[in-house]
Structure 1
């Protein structure tokens, strides 16, 4: 429970900071006011069917093949294939994107269900300290990558921000950033964490006698 609460606190803090940073310093709204509104009627029926198929099949296949964040990454991969093969070039309707943002925000909030205020305050404080350090490192890395590659800071910072893959991918979609770039780096990060964490855990986990 504490691990889940700590991760929920981290994601909440990171998403909040990213939204504030982009709006205040980069002039980019997470809410997407700068994007043209795309209604369902603006997308041809065949393209809507393809996008819907990518969403449904991707969400079904993602868990079966063991993808991280399968309900996000599965549809993303299928949609990427559909767009790369010119099967469709349609963007998702704005209402669908806004609904996904609403659902994601609700999911983050629901992770605090059942937690006592003292637990939330404690884990929020710890998450703020840890997330603050990681955000400083992420921002420094993003500036370095931007200066070396020319990729806009709005994309590099999302890429290295210590948020979750679903949250950062959805933010990238909201800002018309390169979702494939953002998601790929986060997948690499998750893979490294999964590979390294068990090794580190063996060194820090108490043994049966309570010694480290």
Structure 2
């Protein structure tokens, strides 16, 4: 109990500090860092994160991603659905190709390489990496490197390349549902979604089941504005970070440090490739080159939203394209992994 108390206390304090510094997804990556330190120092709880707590964290995250889908937002795509979907498919192909290159290393298997470099849903991929058979330690570190790189360079690219400037526009956030309705919505989508996903043998049921159900409920208008309470979402991020961090050892840390230079080059390659897709999307639709760049940026949905809103870009179009990208990545990877496994078993 003393180890758990120390882990919780340090994680919460540092997460609050990281949030003040505007670090992306502070709960996830602070928890990962703290858990790694505790694991290497021998201070981490010997039993690791309980499995049920890990599934609960995935379920909360799935509900949060599901609530990103809004009918009004997706409707803004109009006749541009096909170009946006093709751009997202291009991002998926780029990610898989980069993952295959990373998987050529002897210390990284192909599945881990693919999970580590898929450009979308970093927290979701970290949450289900072990369940899919990948090394979530490598996935967590490389995904965080991608998010940090994309998030920190986005304002620079917006200013230096596209000459974007801040605006005085005010964006009003409407009040959400009462807290008790939020909790009922999360509990219903998490529990029922997980059970249904298990019944139909959906891969990564803890994440995808609640995600699908929350999306359907929200699109049908039965959510009544409910969402995931910020404290509960932060707790889910922390649980996912702990799950990956507690499995670190000195040898695994050395192995990952050797992978990082290659991973960094591949992340830069994927980022540049997505920028090229953004230029193509600009020619295929009526959006500007700047909005095409934001719509295809491989990471940081909330950071993209903030930059788009503060510079007067077409926020709804950018967010719609980014949400489609995240959904596509989170569904394609687990389902693709299941198909590949089934094929391999059949061949064997």
Task: Compute the TM-score of the two structures, normalised by the length of structure 1.
Answer: 0.63
CA contact (8 A) 1:57 1:75 kept: no
2:149 is equivalent to residue 192 of structure 1: yes
Structure 1 partner of 2:26:
70
Please, which of 93, 96, 103 is the counterpart of residue 136 of structure 1? 93
CA contact (8 A) 1:54 1:79 kept: no
Gaps of 5+ in 1: 1-44
Structure 1 partner of 2:62:
105
2:48 and 2:80 map into 1 onto residues whose CA distance is 38
Greater gyration radius? 2
2:166 is equivalent to residue 181 of structure 1: no
2:36 is equivalent to residue 95 of structure 1: no
1:124 and 1:54 map into 2 onto residues whose CA distance is 45
1:66 and 1:111 map into 2 onto residues whose CA distance is 21
Structure 2 partner of 1:17:
none
Q: What's the CA shift for 1:117?
A: 5.5
1:116 and 1:191 map into 2 onto residues whose CA distance is 26
**CA deviation profile, 1:56-77 (whole Å, cap 9, x unmatched):** 3454343134422112111121
Return the structure number with greater relative CO, CA threshold 8 A, min gap 6: 2
Residue correspondences, number? 165
1:193 and 1:77 map into 2 onto residues whose CA distance is 20
Q: What's the CA shift for 1:162?
A: 0.6
Larger mean CA deviation between 71-80 and 112-121 belongs to 112-121
Please, which of 120, 135, 143 is the counterpart of residue 163 of structure 1? 120
How much is the aligned-residue C-alpha RMSD, in angstroms? 3.2
1:133 and 1:99 map into 2 onto residues whose CA distance is 32
- Match of 1:147, SS state, is coil
Distance 1:126 1:83, change over 3 A: farther
Q: What's the CA shift for 1:151?
A: 1.0
Q: What's the CA shift for 1:51?
A: 4.8
2:78 and 2:54 map into 1 onto residues whose CA distance is 31
1:167 and 1:75 map into 2 onto residues whose CA distance is 15
Gaps of 5+ in 2: 166-287, 290-348
Structure 2 partner of 1:60:
16
**CA deviation profile, 1:146-179 (whole Å, cap 9, x unmatched):** 1233411221111100113322221225446433
Alignment of structure 1 residues 35-50 onto 2, 5 Å: 45-50=1-6
